A = this chain, B = another copy of it.
Amino acid sequence: MNRHGYIGRKMRTPELKEKPAIIIVSFGTSSRSEAVLDLFTTALEQRWPEHRIFHAFTSAVIRRRSGNPSLHEALAHAEAENFRRVVIQPLQIFPGTEYQQIAETCEFFPGLRTFLGETLMHRWNYIEEVLKVLEQEFLPPSTGLNLLALHGTPLAADPANIVYLGLERLLHRRYSNVCTASLEGTPDFTGLRNELVRDNAAGKFNELRIIPLLYFAGQHAEDDLMGEEETSWYSQLTAIGFDDVTCLSTTLAGSDYYKGLGYYPEIIEFFLQRLARVMGLAERY
């Protein structure tokens, strides 16, 4: 029994492809978010015009609606097209629970050599680079408070929590008007809200700007961050005295969107750098 055992075992070996296939893994695109994924795909195809590119989506709900393939299916299609080396680049921001699942699917997929790219925030120096881009969006201390919205993981012992807690600490020491909380875990929003009350933050800052650290700022931004319900961050922040709570937004092809990281050309470039790094490994390994 050997996960790679069957390669070349048959009488005639199939005509295998020489260049590795590329699989881009994202959460999944609604009709609205398709435009932002197109920005990435266009840049990708310009950089690697001769590679076969597959897309895979992690959201079962969106896949069901769209008929798009899962990562398992994209890997299987690549295998069926006679690729045996596949480079997988996820559009994940943090190396968290979902990245771990992607890594395990790739690692154990039979018959393929898989090479998995790193996430946007995989290394402390990457985090610094990303912050330099985002700084341009920060309200200055004289004007307002910036709140970075992280995804978070529900699993308390997931090592991704180290990144979240480390990032919080890093922001606290770098900026006097930047705080952070996560949607599904730690650092928790309730704790942050208590702290903002304790410190009378609403008295000090007129404005509060939410900056989503998500590739697509879709449902999460519309509902959890800026929704009308009492539990949304918008409602809770308004309730503790912030008058002017907004979420960063942008315009693409005439439509307005909450501005996820996928809209920044610099972030797209960072993801292409992650991919280039792992492509380099795939060539020699």
Q: Chain A interface (Cβ within 8 Å of chain B)?
A: 1-11, 13-14, 16-18, 60, 63, 69-70, 72-73, 75-77, 79-80, 82, 84-85, 94-98, 100-101, 103-105, 107-111, 113, 115, 121-127, 152, 154-163, 165-166, 169-170, 173-174, 184-188, 190-192, 194-195, 277-278, 280-281, 283-285
Contact = CB atoms under 8 A, between A and B. Distances in A.
A131 to B, nearest CB: 11
Contacts of A162: 156-159, 161-162, 165
Given A154-B123, A188-B170, A1 B80 contact: no
Nearest to A155: B123
Contacts of A9: 97, 100-101, 155
A224 to B, nearest CB: 12
A125 B100 contact: no
Copies in the complex: 4
Nearest to A74: B76
B186 A166 contact: yes
13 contacts: A1-B1, A1-B103, A6-B101, A70-B76, A72-B80, A72-B111, A73-B73, A104-B110, A113-B285, A126-B156, A156-B166, A157-B162, A170-B186
Given A1-B104, A281-B13, A173 B192 contact: yes
A284 B16 contact: yes
A78 B126 CA distance: 32
A153 to B, nearest CB: 8
B285 A16 contact: yes
Nearest to A152: B124
Contact of A8 (B18, B107, B278): B278
A78 B278 CA distance: 21
Given A16-B284, A170-B186, A173-B195, A5 B100 contact: yes
Contacts of A14: 60
Contacts of A184: 11, 124
B155 A18 contact: no
Contact of A80 (B63, B121, B124, B155): B63
B72 A60 contact: no
A156 B187 CA distance: 16
B186 A2 contact: no
Contacts of A73: 73, 76-77, 79-80
A150 B121 CA distance: 22
